[in-house]
Amino acid sequence: MSATGLPQAIVDHQASGVLELRWPDGSASRLPHGLLRARCRCAGCQQRHRTEGGHPEVAPAIRLAAIQPISDQGLNLVFSDGHGRGIYPWAYLHELGHPAATTA
């Protein structure tokens, strides 16, 4: 397990389309659903990244349809467009919420 640890709370803000993760270090990740969809790392999406280059556009209307924790690995996220093959490891979710360029 990385130093990131597991989030102590997972709050899905459906109205604003934001998934909030609260980490043991006291920080929080506020991840727009559309961003999570765009950064899906399943085989299908990675293939598309390679052929089209870069990240697909974030669709603001996309919403999370289901959140399924996978023991200590991370989250399986299902989206309103029916896509639900992506596994998001905890460290990856933490990284998405803490861009290296951001200074607190």
Which one, 18 or 45, has the nearer CB to Zn ion?
Answer: 45
Least CB distance from residue 84 to Zn ion, whole Å? 8
**Is residue 42 a contact residue for Zn ion (CB under 5 A)?**
yes
**Is residue 45 a contact residue for Zn ion (CB under 5 A)?**
yes
Q: Where are the beta strands (DSSP E) in 1-104?
A: 9-13, 18-22, 28-32, 64-70, 74-79, 86-89
17, 34, 74, 86: which one binds Zn ion (CB under 5 A): 86
Which one, 10 or 87, has the nearer CB to Zn ion?
Answer: 87
Which one, 28 or 87, has the nearer CB to Zn ion?
Answer: 87
Half-sphere exposure of 9 (CA within 13 A, CB side): 10
Least CB distance from residue 6 to Zn ion, whole Å? 23
d(CA 2, CA 5): 6
Q: How is residue 29 annotated by DSSP?
A: E
Q: Walk across the sheet containing 18-22 and list its strands.
A: 9-13, 18-22, 28-32
**Is residue 40 a contact residue for Zn ion (CB under 5 A)?**
yes
Name the residues that contact Zn ion, by CB under 5 A. Answer: 40, 42, 45, 86
